[in-house]
Chains A and B, each alone.
Chain A
Amino acid sequence: MDTLNNTLLKVENLHVVYKARRETVYAVNGVSFCLKKGETLGLVGETGAGKTTTAYAIMRVLPDRTARIVNGIIEFEGYNLLDVPENLMRHGIRGEKIAIIFQDPMSALNPIMKVGDQIAEALKFHNKEDLSPERIEEQVDRTLELVGIQKERKYDFPHQLSGGMKQRVVIAIALVCEPVLIIADEPTTALDVTIQAQVLAMIDELREKLGTAMILITHDLGIVAQMCDNVAIMYAGEIIEIGSVEDIYSGKMQHPYTAGLFGSLPDLEKKTDRLHPIEGLMPDPTDLPKGCKFNPRCPRCMDICRNVQPEFTVEGTHKVACHLYGSGKGRGIDE
């Protein structure tokens, strides 16, 4: 497709399952996407769609007793991360090249460690330039100021900070080693609405300043429109639609699920009496439906949807996995 050497991360056909006592949870089922340097990809979907699992798989911080990456390639800077030994992963990738901003700042920080030490920890274990302790402290101070916290607060414990400040600290931890890729896992869901915008704006600004690529996991299409270059819509462990922001918001094709997501958003411009939520629930991940995973809830479901898994229909940068499009099956059939 595009200039290949520009690609930072390429995920191909990723499959992750969780094995419980008697059940197997199919969390991620053949996810593929590409991320270029400095680019932002929005990963959108409901709770349980496999967004966070995908993120943890990239970092390889899945719970190792239950989770298994059964298939796939995660190519980062030309290396398949799934082949990298744990030791090297820890040393060279985690925290150093790829960093993650966790969902819940309340629990993501160690309650009995000063926040400054928690930020410095990442640096200490990736200390390639052999920084002296003083230099590490300086770097911590700088990062704290970058995320808008006075450097004196580094001696505080997490319980002394507000929720918004904790999330800033979590962001500082992610940024302190200047990674090339940040995975932001719903970075603002745990925060008050009033601070959400602030934190997001800050993340965006810092990302731009540092030229970092980002995967932004969210279920908020509004945030995606503001911050992302590309968007992937996930449903039941699959990407069902992927493309640029324009493709998703105003492309010719639209997956009925994406349409449903938009339908459940309040629109200030159009005057509607009510929102249109998607009927039904996500399918049970231990017992996924045949064919298109969305078929039980799809308002435009056809016979073929119940039996055949749809392939991507490609139109430029826009890909949709739905039987409504491509190979002769037009919109009209079911209507």
Chain B
Amino acid sequence: MVMNKKPLRSMSPLQETIYRFSQNKVSLIGLAVVLLLIFIIIFGEFISPFENGVKQNIRMRLQGPSAEHWFGTDAYGRDIFTRVLHGTKYTMMIAFPATFIAEVIGIILGACAAFYSRWFDNILMRVLDVFQAIPGQLLALAVVAALGGSLFNLVIAMLIARIPASVRTARSIMLSLVGQEYIDAARSYGSRDYHLIFRHVIPNSLGAMIVSMTINLSAITLQVSSMSYIGLGVSPPTPEWGALLSEAREFIITAPHLIIFPGIAILLTALSFNLVGDGLRDALDPRLRD
């Protein structure tokens, strides 16, 4: 069927994935939001200078949304829109490195476990069993308890809380790949292990790993903000979203707008990562699609 006109069949896997992803409207919206967030991080200063979010103005305290202050003002008269806008980068500064490093460590340990001796895999699994017996939130709490809450320490905390899950995901993806026949075939014609790992296993697992990474980003976004909310993450006056909400607690009755907008920011971020992740998964493996 060389002469087939169907577009899907003449594409490379990557093109095919992009094509399928582009057909998925909901995921495209998610992607648009993610791009918007990146745009905000880069150009936030031009949209509304950070100064606006720091400048206190007691006469303008606890104002509701208006043309001047889109999201209203807080107890010190600071502009909430600016604070939420600039809060984006704190969440991302924690979520991106933590997710990325967790994923890289996951891939390395996962590949080793899938490829090398049983004993390494066994030990790794036992260690993972231990780590997974501690709910992630508690692990992060313990790290913060020891190191104290700062941006860097939160990255460490999120990292430690995420690594077990990343390693487990990577390991199972790679084990399923190693079990496949083309790996055996490559082995049978004398490919070396590192060649197998870098040429076959990692490229083939990358799709699934990216999916798990996007979903992880969403989970970490939620976790970071909740750490700050309970007062063990980024602390006010830094306008991290969770910290904004923590500050807003005492005004829950008088100024609900202080609560609504940062919350929506967290929700949209987590949601858009999830949407992109879901869309990627469907695009990578259309059989999973219904």
Residues of chain A at the chain B interface (Cβ within 8 Å): 23, 281, 284, 286-287
Tell me, rounded to whole Å, the shortest Cβ–Cβ distance linking B3 to chain A: 10
Specify which chain B residues have a CB less than 8 angstroms from the CB of A23 in the assembled complex.
6
Tell me, rounded to whole Å, the shortest Cβ–Cβ distance linking A313 to chain B: 31
Number of inter-chain CB pairs below 8 Å: 6
6 contacts between A and B (CB under 8 A): A23-B6, A281-B1, A284-B1, A284-B4, A286-B6, A287-B4
Specify which chain A residues have a CB less than 8 angstroms from the CB of B6 in the assembled complex.
23, 286
Tell me, rounded to whole Å, the shortest Cβ–Cβ distance linking A21 to chain B: 9
Residues of B contacting A: mostly: loop
State A23–B1 Cα separation when bound (angstroms): 16
- Would you give the 0/1 interface string for B1-43, flagging 1 where the beta carbon is closer than 8 Å to chain A? 1001010000000000000000000000000000000000000
Specify which chain B residues have a CB less than 8 angstroms from the CB of A284 in the assembled complex.
1, 4
Closest to B289 in A: A21
Specify which chain A residues have a CB less than 8 angstroms from the CB of B1 in the assembled complex.
281, 284
Specify which chain B residues have a CB less than 8 angstroms from the CB of A281 in the assembled complex.
1
- Total number of B residues with any Cβ neighbor in A under 8 Å: 3
State A23–B7 Cα separation when bound (angstroms): 12
Tell me, rounded to whole Å, the shortest Cβ–Cβ distance linking A64 to chain B: 14
Closest to A283 in B: B1
Residues of chain B at the chain A interface (Cβ within 8 Å): 1, 4, 6
State A284–B1 Cα separation when bound (angstroms): 8
5 residue pairs, one from A and one from B, having the closest CB atoms = A284-B1, A284-B4, A281-B1, A287-B4, A286-B6
Closest to B23 in A: A21
State A284–B2 Cα separation when bound (angstroms): 12
Tell me, rounded to whole Å, the shortest Cβ–Cβ distance linking B157 to chain A: 42
Tell me, rounded to whole Å, the shortest Cβ–Cβ distance linking A297 to chain B: 12
Tell me, rounded to whole Å, the shortest Cβ–Cβ distance linking B273 to chain A: 26
Closest to A65 in B: B290
State A284–B8 Cα separation when bound (angstroms): 14
State A287–B6 Cα separation when bound (angstroms): 10
Specify which chain B residues have a CB less than 8 angstroms from the CB of A287 in the assembled complex.
4
Closest to A21 in B: B23
State A281–B4 Cα separation when bound (angstroms): 13
Closest to A280 in B: B1
Tell me, rounded to whole Å, the shortest Cβ–Cβ distance linking B198 to chain A: 36
State A192–B284 Cα separation when bound (angstroms): 35
State A286–B1 Cα separation when bound (angstroms): 12
Tell me, rounded to whole Å, the shortest Cβ–Cβ distance linking B290 to chain A: 9
State A284–B6 Cα separation when bound (angstroms): 11
Closest to B286 in A: A21
Specify which chain B residues have a CB less than 8 angstroms from the CB of A286 in the assembled complex.
6
Specify which chain A residues have a CB less than 8 angstroms from the CB of B4 in the assembled complex.
284, 287
Tell me, rounded to whole Å, the shortest Cβ–Cβ distance linking A14 to chain B: 26
State A287–B4 Cα separation when bound (angstroms): 9
Tell me, rounded to whole Å, the shortest Cβ–Cβ distance linking A23 to chain B: 8
Tell me, rounded to whole Å, the shortest Cβ–Cβ distance linking B287 to chain A: 13
State A30–B1 Cα separation when bound (angstroms): 25
Tell me, rounded to whole Å, the shortest Cβ–Cβ distance linking A1 to chain B: 40
